[in-house]
Amino acid sequence: MAKNRLLAERNRGWLAGRDILALNLISSPGAGKTTLLERTIRDLAGELTISVIEGDQATLHDAERIQKTGCRVVQINTGAGCHLEAGMTGRGLTQLDPPLGSVVLIENVGNLVCPALFDLGERAKVVIMSVTDGDDKPVKYPHAFRSSEVMILNKIDLLPYVQFDVQRCLEYAHLVNPRLRVLQLSATRGDGMDDWYSWLREKSAKATRHEAPSGPGM
């Protein structure tokens, strides 16, 4: 962990020196991270320059999906590992070579435990959950929500078809992290995506002004 922290700070300095916003996206499998990235890249094309680091235990499937958007992407396969580490991320950044003033979105391995514990040098963590996950996820996996600045509640278009109490989920999330910003959206249908894009634009603008990374919920 001490070595990871040192490498994370090195990554953070490398990113800051290039005015690059890096976000660490964490979620359980199937929450919709890759779909969110695909839509974000396409909708903001020409406005934000986005590159992606894909983390999975195996396969190139997600990187191939991202590549079809025309976006720069690097796949990192962790094998038996359940999360990305700062050293892996640093090597991925070198290979990716993102442009100055751009955005790097890091899609971590699908897991709400280990990825929350490892700093990659990102400016903020974004935790993504879907309405198919169960409304008690924030209290079952508190560190993932406590360490994040934003929670995205995805797949709200499915609410009529699942048993999911949105209000209870939000109460649980703010019990764990009172400053957590919550965005409700459907990456498939497009509902609520403008709120996500506004936040992304704001964070990107701050990164180019060399502002210090904020704590969770700021």
In total, how many domains does the chain have?
A: 1
Residue 121 falls inside a structural domain = yes
Please report which residue ranges of 126-165 form alpha helices under DSSP H.
137-140, 142-146
**Structure token pair of residue 111:** 């897991």
* Pairing label, strands 50-56, 150-154: unpaired
Residue 214 falls inside a structural domain = no
- Count the Cβ atoms, other than its own, within 10 Å of residue 181: 18
Nearest to 15 by CA among 110, 138, 104, 76: 104
For residue 52, give every residue at least 6 positions away whose Cβ sits within 8 Å of its Cβ, in sequence order, or none: 37, 41, 63, 66, 71, 72, 73, 74, 104, 105, 106, 107
- Count the Cβ atoms, other than its own, within 10 Å of residue 32: 21
pLDDT tens-place values along the chain, 218 residues long? 899 999 999 999 999 999 999 999 999 999 999 999 999 999 999 999 999 999 999 999 999 999 999 999 999 999 988 999 999 999 999 999 999 999 999 999 999 999 999 999 999 999 999 999 999 999 999 999 999 999 999 999 999 999 999 999 999 999 999 999 999 999 999 999 999 999 999 999 999 866 555 444 43
Domain that holds residue 100: 2-208
Residue 192 falls inside a structural domain = yes
Q: What is the pLDDT of residue 211?
A: 58
CATH of the domain at 170: 3.40.50.300
